[in-house]
Amino acid sequence: MKSNLTQLKKMANTLRQDVIKMLVEAGSGHSAGSLGMADIFSALYFKVLNHKPKKPNWANRDRLILSCGHIVPIRYAAMARSGYFPVKELKTLRKLGSRLQGHPSYVDMPALESSSGPLGQGVSVAVGKALAGKMNRKKYFVYCITSDGEHDEGQTWEAIMTAAKYKLDNLIFILDRNKIQIDGYTKDIMPLESLKAKYEAFNWFVLEIDGNDIEKVLKATEIAKRVKDQPKVIIAHTIPGKGVSFMENKWEWHGRAPSKDEAEKALKELQRAL
């Protein structure tokens, strides 16, 4: 387990470097959330998910819905490193004709499971897929990455209520609680606490963890999978911009890409962390 954790941590660092390289090449994109979620995406793609990169439409695969589509660079990096497409294709992020659009496009790459961008809609898609899985008596899990900022949306809470009604125990939300959104800190834009109490009031099983601790991510997903008759949410406290000191916990990096000089500085810092 220890060696496996070391490999997952190294992969998270690699994914962060990929994100920096992608964003500076594209000249636009979302830095903070993508970097903050690298540990979770390393855990998901290289340990947690039941999937086959060479058979992306395998019927029994776990489904992963990225509701907060703006952090898709970290998903692309994890997909490339796990074998869905060549790593060199990452450089085409946001380019005309690329499969790697700035927000997930199911039309361009079906392995993404759904298109997303408008915040709040992905959680409803995830609930629908989980309900379909139940109706079809399938064994797969539906994981949904959702942001704290999109909990400002009423549709998010309608989906949460629906999941509880149908006791969707094949549904696991991973809530990126990084406390920032595009216009500022969530506490200033729309206070959200207590998210744990709110989910529990909607009859969800709630776990709260350090989302940048891969061991805790793995333990939380294992616990969540065992819980029956309730949908589950893992509230993952992450550091936006994690790994790059001048980006960490700064809301201004939510929707900003690094310049060439900033990217060079960020990459040197990440390489020293190995």
> How many residues does this entry show for the chain?
274
What is the chain's mean pLDDT, rounded? 96
The CA distance from 120 to 32, in Å, is 19
Residues 97-106: pLDDT tens digits? 999 999 999 9
pLDDT surpasses 90 at 19: yes
Contacts of 188 (CB under 8 A, 6+ apart): none
Give residue 89's pLDDT band: very low, low, confident or very high (50, 70, 90). Answer: very high
Given a cut of 90, is residue 116 above it in pLDDT? no
pLDDT at 26 over 90: yes
Evaluate whether 71 touches 103 at the Cβ level (below 8 Å).
no
Would the pLDDT of 1 be above 80? no
pLDDT for 120 equals 81
Amino acid of residue 102: G
Q: Please say if the pLDDT value at position 2 is more than 70.
A: no
Please choose, from the candidates 113, 151, 116, the residue with its C-alpha nearest in 3D space to the C-alpha of residue 132. Answer: 113
Residue 266 has pLDDT above 80, yes or no: yes
The phi and psi torsions of 49 (rounded to 5 degrees) equal -65, 140
Peptide bond into 194 cis (omega under 30): yes
Closest among 34, 31, 145, 29 to 93, alpha carbons compared: 29
Note the pLDDT tens digit of each residue in 185-224: 999 999 999 999 999 999 999 999 999 999 999 999 999 9
Which alpha helices (DSSP H) does the chain contain, by range? 2-26, 32-36, 38-43, 72-82, 121-135, 154-165, 186-189, 195-201, 214-226, 260-272
Asked whether the predicted pLDDT for residue 262 surpasses 80, the reply is: yes
Mean pLDDT of 11-31: 97
pLDDT at 130: 98
pLDDT of residue 3: 52
State the average pLDDT over residues 106-127. 91
Token pair, residue 82, equals: 């796990």
% of the chain exceeding 70 in pLDDT: 99
pLDDT tens per residue, range 232-257: 999 999 999 999 999 999 999 999 99
**What CATH superfamily is the domain 2-272?**
Thiamin diphosphate (ThDP)-binding fold, Pyr/PP domains (3.40.50.970)
